[in-house]
Amino acid sequence: MNDSVQQDKLAVPHSNGPTKPMTMIQALRSAMDVMLDRDPNVVVFGEDVGYFGGVFRCTEGLQAKYGKSRVFDAPISESGIVGTAVGMGAYGLRPVVEIQFADYVYPAFDQIVSEAARLRYRSAGDFTAPLTIRMPCGGGIYGGQTHSQSPEAVFTHVCGLRTVMPSNPYDAKGLLIAAIECDDPVIFLEPKRLYNGPFDGHHDKPVVPWSKHPMGEVPEGYYSVPLTSAAVFRPGQEVTVLAYGTMVWVSAAAAQETGIDAEVIDLRSIWPLDLDTIVNSVKKTRRCVVVHEATRTSGFGAELVALVQEHCFYHLEAPIERVTGWDTPYPHAQEWAYFPGPARVGAALKRVMEG
């Protein structure tokens, strides 16, 4: 990723207190550290998150600091992990649980959908489920079909859940703190290809670490990013690109490489959605491209296309384009044929400009 792409980004908001360079892993750990220290009701648990510090080391050192009663390991039972967290939340705790990979969440689906998402409604507001379910998602690491999925659309279809996906360390920490403080269950998806640095889709280029990017500069203390807020990641005038997670960086690279003045919107909160930011941008540019890594059919991009069509129809000068993963399992041998890279996004930008 070259310097001009780095500069075409959302300016890091001013925050009080000292900052230091952090990877996304370190920023997530810092968020949990801050909240464990601030609120004695916060507990962190999941498979290998205690002594081992998690498969990606996001919880490294937290058990040693806060003890085994607040940061602890769980059996290999996603349904048991989430079910226990629902009960904890109903009794006043604020559990933060880790599903080792988003691909492993499906055994917990009944607990998430039938219990966590419905608890406030079923109890007429007497109980809430203030739990945060963290899970690494997405491809780009040669994880194959069982370690690369992007299941966000499964959760956005469920009333009562919030679904979040950050694209950088600053947002990751602020959004995770906001998620832990939220009284609703939050599905917190972490694009693991971004854990150690921004990724523009060019897998054959050297990795750029977060320490060399302004968005890797993260406040050490407490701050939060509102869960319902999108961000203008790259200002532009000619076309709006709606993206989240890794695709934010890929879309910015595509704009850079095509020379098209695209405005890239980082949704951050996939649902609930910051519709005003989307509508204002599309009405300005009069064109729209939607990008996500998940499979195409019934992906969240379809909802975005429908919303843009509904709210911006008379402003559009070309059909809305979608760039997504294919309707196949994530292929190990053909990783980069599946992954929506800057070439595919750039081709969509050119098509929408010609429409």
- Indicate whether 286 and 309 sit together in one domain: yes
Give the predicted TM-score (pTM) of the model.
0.95
User: What total of structural domains would you count in the chain?
Assistant: 2
- Indicate whether 206 and 237 sit together in one domain: no
The per-residue pLDDT for 10 is 46
Active site residue 213: no
Which domain range does residue 275 map to? 231-354
User: CATH number for the domain including 293?
Assistant: 3.40.50.920
Give the helix, strand, coil percentages of the chain, each rounded to 5.
Answer: 40, 20, 45
Averaged pLDDT for residues 330-348:
95
Of 165, 187, 219, the one marking the end of a domain is 219
The per-residue pLDDT for 98 is 98
- Indicate whether 309 and 241 sit together in one domain: yes
pLDDT digits (tens, 9 = 90+) for 13-57: 555 589 999 999 999 999 999 999 999 999 999 999 999 999 999
pLDDT digits (tens, 9 = 90+) for 110-143: 999 999 999 999 999 999 999 999 999 999 888 9
The per-residue pLDDT for 170 is 97
Of 194, 219, 244, the one marking the end of a domain is 219
- Indicate whether 238 and 189 sit together in one domain: no
3-state secondary structure of 207: coil
Of 147, 203, 311, 332, catalytic: 147
- Indicate whether 96 and 70 sit together in one domain: yes
**Token digits for 268?**
């951050």
Distance of CA 197 to the CA centre of its chain: 15
pLDDT digits (tens, 9 = 90+) for 60-101: 999 999 999 999 999 999 999 999 999 999 999 999 999 999
pLDDT digits (tens, 9 = 90+) for 253-294: 999 999 999 999 999 999 999 999 999 999 999 999 999 999
CA geometry: angle 234, 240, 242, nearest 5 deg: 85
pLDDT digits (tens, 9 = 90+) for 177-196: 999 999 999 999 999 999 99
Q: Answer yes or no: is 98 within a domain.
A: yes
Distance of CA 15 to the CA centre of its chain: 22
